[in-house]
Amino acid sequence: MEEKTVNIKEFNRNRIYKLLRQKQHLSKQDIVQHLQISLPTVTQNLNYLLKQKLIANTGTIGNTGGRNAQLFSYISDAKVAIGLDITRNHITTVVVDLNGEIININRRRQKFEASDPYFRLLGDVIQESIKDLNIDESKILGVGIGVPGLITEDHQTVFYGKILNFTGETLERFAQYIPYPAILVNDANAAGFSEIWATPDTKNAFYISLSNNIGGAVYIRDKVFAGENQKSGEIGHITIIPDGLPCYCGQKGCLEAYCSASLLSDAAEGSLAQFFEQVKQGDPEKLKLWEKYLRHLSIAINNIRMLFDCDIILGGYVGAYMEEHIDTLKKLVAARNTFEDHADFLRICNYKTEAIAAGAALPFIDQFINQI
């Protein structure tokens, strides 16, 4: 019985906090009206949130009765989480606030190596970001480390890490110089989570990360569907062309071999921006390459649609350039579809950059908001 009372108390506190988070500024009366809970309950919970420094009393507004109502405001940077995106040649660090907004980005060129100096550097770059923002360490909820590898369910170990040749590497080593709670996260899962989190209306979706490597993640009712062995959604290794081009995984004809972003950037002196500029200018060679890319991608997208019948979000380096080409891609996809004559289920990512790093940090934010 007592446990139930506590749960209702926490439930109300959580509702009040989330309402303030959504509306930013509210008076007590606003909260009473919105949530239909008693004034003493609202007062008690606001006092608790004030004490925790999660909200602030931000002055008064006049009301029609001539008396002034006190306003309570949500503090978006009361807590923050840090996300890392580890790639072959870069370390990107972001700090996200309770809104999921990136409030600091730090990107540095650094070749990955599973060595003590490298892991020490991870600790250093995190400290740099904290110093940049001048934030109190007590505000830091945790650090998510996004890596291009498959991670065990407990977030502790890389069990397939061919891209960086780091299979078997552990969180213990990655986080040995990080004095905060930390987790390892698969890069595509992280990026997908950032998209699902940013769009509360989307419950079911498939996220494709079109970067130098191709990743994917399945979301069912807002939760990643990891599969029996944490290998679900590995869209980069579905067969697009039987016995086609070799893939780094050892197989032939994988999507990875046809739709890696580096196929495009390699054709434009290593610059994806330049590639898309040349496509825009009508460079025939680049146009041909791009059309071929979209054709192969449309096969994968149609397969995903047939399997899951849900929204498909295009992210990663190429996803960020997709705005101008989405209609062309939709036509190619619709032409393959058995049941639909459109492809309105295709969406472009919200986070144009740093989806992986932000998404690696967001589980800490999500957990915090839900447990208040």
Binding mask 191-230 for Zn ion (x = CB under 5 A): ----------------------------------------
Contacts of 53 (CB under 8 A, 6+ apart): 75, 78
Tell me how many residues contact Zn ion (CB under 5 A): 6
Q: Minimum CB separation from Zn ion for residue 244, in Å?
A: 10
Tell me whether residue 84 or residue 254 sits nearer to Zn ion (CB atom): 254
Residue 55 or residue 235: which is nearer to Zn ion going by CB?
235
Q: Which is nearer to Zn ion, 144 or 236 (CB)?
A: 236
Q: Which is nearer to Zn ion, 20 or 247 (CB)?
A: 247
Residue 66: CB atoms within 10 Å: 6
Q: Classify each residue of 106-119 as buried b or exposed e, where b means 16 or more C-beta atoms within 10 Å of its C-beta.
A: beeebebebeeebb
* Residues 226-255, mask of contacts with Zn ion (x by CB under 5 A): -----------x---------x-x-x--x-
Residue 348 CB, nearest approach to Zn ion (Å) = 25
Does residue number 71 form part of the binding site for Zn ion (CB under 5 A)? no
Residue 325 carries which side chain, given as an amino acid letter? Answer: H
- CB of 231: closest distance to Zn ion in angstroms? 12
Annotate 63-121 with DSSP letters as a single string. -TTSSEEEEEEE-TTSSEEEEEEE-SSEEEEEEE-TTS-EEEEEEEE-----SHHHHHH
* CA–CA separation, 223 and 205 (whole Å): 10
Q: Indicate the residue among 234 and 311 with the shorter CB distance to Zn ion.
A: 234
Contact set with Zn ion (CB under 5 A): 237, 247, 249, 251, 254, 256
